[in-house]
Structure 1
Amino acid sequence: MSKVTHQAAIGTRKGKPFIVQQRPTPTPGPCQVLVTPKALALNPVDYIMRDGFNVASFPVVLGSDAAGIITQVGPGVSNLKVGDRVLTFCQAFSQKGAPDFGAFQETVLVPVEFITPIPKSLSYIDAAALPLAIYTTATGYFVQLKVPREGYKPADKKAMLVWGAGGSIGTVAVQVAKILGFTVYATASAKHHDYLKSLGAHACFDYKDADVVSQVVKAIEGDGFALESGYLATGDLKQIVKAVGHFKSPHAKVAAAPFSFNMLWWRLYDWGGVAVEFVVPPPPADIDEFFKFVYTEWLKNLLDQKLIIASPKIELVDGGLGGIQTALGKLKSGVSGVKVVVEL
């Protein structure tokens, strides 16, 4: 028998701490499932939404990253079953905080195209670190940068510059670029360089160096590449544009993951021949097929073949749902090279 209610970390008012309380458990509709999270990862978008951005109305349940067990499937679901271990990209942002769809609760409603079965070798804690970072990097590479889904071969001599590679998005962006056949150049704090090289970065540079752009350009030219593409995980957009623009490619483009209100004028600004696009999903007509490919095919295969790992390193915060407020405070105050996760 399905649960009637469950506990959730609920945002009752703009900017106020979450309150853990009971709320109604939804019933999955066509092509939806219910997931009981065992681990939740936190992201800056969570405290941005808590403070009122992209929220239709309060109360809200937020959270994008979860890993757990399917507890109920809706009509038309044939590829998943009750008891499956999965990671899920929860729809708090696209649903503007609608309580059924946020990860920060004991039962979350998820469309099937955002579900990836996980192998037994992958823990819930590690799996929870991946969903949003996969969304952001796959979208940036496949949609904004137009990388073929099958990737490139070494003979294609493709280079990718990942700027701000030390965090949760950047570390996955490095891995994905390597998987797609790029030779990867990355900027991050020096303390993260060895770790990024273990994930597939060919060369790393300290973004704090005054001549970092010159260092990047010299290394790429020395390796015989002509840089066309860059991925901004975090940091200074002008710096990565300068590096990519140096090569004067007619196809030069940067995909920018960090949200900024300035993105409204990015396309109007003269970036010296470099196209700059904010990472956004494909048009509505293509969006279901795209995410079905990303989560149910592409990511599943990467996990099954152990081609991608959870990154960066996990920092656990105690307290379950009651610890989310503390975890968000830790995240907002600034972390480096870790993914903040709460275990349920």
Structure 2
Amino acid sequence: MDEVVLRRRGFVFSPDRPLQIAGYVLGFAGALGLAYLLGGREILKIFPVWIVMIVAFSLYPMKVLIADRDGVSILSRGGRTRLSWDRIAKIVVFDRAGGRVTVGIRTEPDDATRARPWTRLAEVMRRIGPAPRLLRVPGRDEPFALAFETVCGGVQASELADRFRRSVPVPIAELRSGDAEPYSVRAPFRSALPDAAFLAVWNGLIGTIWVVVTVRQDARAWIPLGVMFAGFCLILTEQLIPRAALMADGTGLRFGEEFLAWDEIQAIRLGAATDGTDLIIRTTAAAALVEPEVRRRLTGTHVDPARLAAAVPPGITVDHTTVT
């Protein structure tokens, strides 16, 4: 089979997360200022080296995913991880705004519920990191979660889907063409609150000690430290911004971290709940072997049945009923 290689820039921030970009820029500027105060003019000689290294790492197109006859090799923190084809259930190609293409991999779910708190820590790193590449293991509580997702450039979504379809022995999510507008509903992720609290407390303790020691060396250090603190606050604030809890587009239906292609869905039912919307999806084919009826509560959301029905392909019904 032909090899499919996906590349992306090394140090990439998502353009739809501007607060994160601003936060990291402020953090880097504060670190430079602090290094200058504590190291003097000699440290200025290192600044160009830092800048060259950051630019080179940002622009170098790394091979983030390689699909060959044995499986998929994924670039993740700590090296490369390989998934064999018998573990992969589906490859999904999302066409995003601005010409961006996102590729997701769904694996067979693990028999056990996802472990805590180590999985939670991995989720924190995945949200904060500029280019999330952490491989997750979907458990029986979220069997349709994408195990891996990455942005790639220099290719059209339809072209990339065709390349995968010709080269890999697993199902590829069909790209549905048409005039239907994608429909998304945003909601705050309450799971981000304990993550944000943990980061605030941890950085508060470590940061306070660091500030006291640093200011004793140079009283002017509070200025770059303040810039770094402002950057941290922006990064933390970005974690609390509501994100898409439900997305229906030409590829399929995403709810939270999970995804189902349109050919895996028979019908969708929506029910009003006191704190959000109940989502009930009747699945078909292989998806039904995993979970024939997916019931999820989208907390803090209100889904418009008419707009959702307009975004789904013909043959899939969308009902709005009272669910108890």
Instruction: Report the TM range for the smaller structure's normalisation.
Output: under 0.3
Of structures 1 and 2, the larger Rg is shown by: 2
Which structure features the higher share of strand residues?
2
TM-score by length of 1: 0.23
Which structure features the higher share of helix residues?
2
TM-score by length of 2: 0.24
